[in-house]
Amino acid sequence: MRAGSIGIGGFLVLLFLSWATGTDLLSLLGDVGGPSSPGSVASTGDLRTTPQEERLVDFVDAVAKDAQDTWEQLLGGRYQRTRVVVFRDAIESACGFAQSATGPFYCPGDRKVYLDLGFFDELSQRFGAPGDFAEAYVIAHEFGHHVQNLLGVSARVQQDPRPGATSASVALELQADCYAGVWGHAASKSGRFEAGRVELEPGDAEEALRAAGAIGDDRLQRMATGRVAPERFTHGSSAQRIEWFRRGMSSGDPRQCDTFARTTTQ
């Protein structure tokens, strides 16, 4: 784990130098150690982990490495490897300042996945979706966004910024769910992931399905307000998320993940 954060003063200096030189020096944030650093996980410089969190970081690294190996096999030279940046509470990324309440996210600006170490506790305790494969699903979903960015799919949201259940943003999220299933299919078949911290077993896919259903827009809206507002959906309903993860998991074929063309279950 390498240092990769700076104070607000240093950030402002980099911001000024980026403007003055025309070079995006902010993209260097989180990259300390360079591409030759081992593993797929970087951390903020002030992060001090407990033994439990260190095991979690090892788990994240195993999933990230296996997901990237899968996409390299599927996409060949079109795939470009990236990293997961783990943090606690808050972080500055190329996409702006983010807090743990944001949840895991992918930033197209620096092509990195960001993950607060406390999120998995929330996934298990608040959303009722415990288990290693549930956690792996969340990580693989974010790598699905990386794939979308590399393939130019993410631009569809900018071209069609309408909100709601039928929006391009929902289609993008559901496709990332399907891509997470594509990874799950490969991991369960190849045995590669057994070299990490987890062995996939026949019932493990149910953990991911529970996680997908637990964080559907309709369920989260009911928890927050007691009502469902499809016009405000950003990620898709629980049924949609389960459907598309299952489609990727059963097929292992990213060509089956065209959420922009298919009609999904509401």
What is the rounded (10 degree) CA torsion for 80, 256, 183, 148? Answer: 30
Lowest mean pLDDT among 31-45, 159-173, 175-189, 214-228: 31-45
171 with 95: CB under 8 angstroms? Answer: no
Residues 6+ apart with CB under 8 A from 173: 234, 235, 236, 241
Please report the pLDDT score of residue 82 as a whole number.
95
Judge whether 112 and 82 are in contact, CB under 8 Å: yes
Query: What SS3 class is residue 125?
Result: helix
pLDDT digits (tens, 9 = 90+) for 211-226: 777 778 888 888 889 9
Give yes or no for a contact between 254 and 182, defined as CB atoms under 8 angstroms apart.
yes
Using CA atoms, how far apart are residues 177 and 249, in angstroms rounded to an integer?
10
**Where residue 256 falls among pLDDT bands split at 50, 70, 90?**
very high
Number of neighbouring beta carbons within 10 Å of residue 108: 15
What is the structure's pLDDT at 57?
86
Name the amino acid, one letter, at 202: P
CB of 217 closer than 8 Å to CB of 236: yes
Neighbouring residues of 230: CB distance < 8 A, sequence distance ≥ 6: 164, 165, 217, 218, 237, 266
Q: For residue 20, is pLDDT > 70? A: no
Question: 131: closest CA among 29, 241, 205?
Answer: 205
Which pLDDT band, with edges at 50, 70 and 90, does 173 fall under?
Answer: very high
| 8-state DSSP, 132 | H
**pLDDT higher at 124 or 230:** 230
Residue spans of the domains in the chain: they are 8-256
pLDDT single digits (tens) 110-162:
999 999 888 877 776 666 655 677 888 899 999 999 999 999 998 888 888 78
Q: What are phi and psi of 39, to 5 degrees?
A: 85, 175
Show Cβ contacts of residue 154 under 8 Å, excluding neighbours closer than 6 positions. 108, 145, 148, 172
Q: Which pLDDT tens digit goes with each residue over 41-81?
A: 776 545 556 787 788 888 889 899 999 999 999 999 999 99
